[in-house]
């Protein structure tokens, strides 16, 4: 058995994937919220604005965009008005 450190809460767990089972529930809720927000807002603004408006931390937003194909595809349809947007996302990890 291999222990992994959850990339959301930092606790150790045994499972496939990058996050523990508790956090996968929170991730699902965040991703649902994020998808709704993206559907309703043409201009996503910077990552910080997106974080303020959705209540999802920048760290978690970065993780979703990098790890979730669906979010990645949706977010690439929008032009961000700020150089600190999704383009620089790998720097924030
Ligand atoms: Zn966790």
Q: How far is the CA of 83 from the centre of ligand 1 (A)?
A: 30
Q: What confidence score (pLDDT) does residue 26 get?
A: 96
Q: What confidence score (pLDDT) does residue 84 get?
A: 47
Average pLDDT over residues 21-41: 93
Q: Angle between the 21-40 and 58-67 helix axes, to the nearest 10 degrees?
A: 90
**CA–CA dist 3, 14 (Å, integer):** 5
Q: How far is the CA of 16 from the centre of ligand 1 (A)?
A: 13
Q: What confidence score (pLDDT) does residue 91 get?
A: 42
Q: What confidence score (pLDDT) does residue 1 get?
A: 67
Q: How far is the CA of 19 from the centre of ligand 1 (A)?
A: 5
Domain boundaries, the chain: 24-92
Q: How far is the CA of 9 from the centre of ligand 1 (A)?
A: 4
Tell me the residues surrounding ligand 1 (ion) with CB < 5 Å: 6, 8-9, 20, 23
Cβ neighbours around 40 below 10 Å, total: 7
Q: How far is the CA of 42 from the centre of ligand 1 (A)?
A: 31
Structural contact between residues 19 and 7, judged by C-beta atoms closer than 8 angstroms: yes
- pLDDT, tens digit, 9 for 90 and up, residues 32-79: 999 999 889 877 888 899 999 999 999 999 899 888 888 888 776 655
Q: Nearest to residue 86, comparing CAs of 23, 41, 74, 31? A: 74
pTM as predicted = 0.75
Q: How many residues does the chain have?
A: 93
């Amino acid at each position: 058995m291999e222990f992994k450190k959850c990339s959301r809460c930092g606790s150790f767990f045994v499972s496939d994937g990058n996050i523990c089972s508790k956090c996968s529930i929170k991730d699902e809720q965040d991703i649902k919220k994020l998808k709704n927000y993206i559907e309703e807002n043409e201009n996503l603004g910077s990552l910080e604005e997106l974080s303020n408006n959705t209540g999802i931390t920048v760290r978690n937003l970065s993780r979703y965009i990098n790890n979730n194909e669906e979010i990645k595809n949706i977010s690439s349809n929008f032009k961000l008005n700020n150089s600190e947007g999704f383009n620089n996302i790998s720097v924030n990890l």
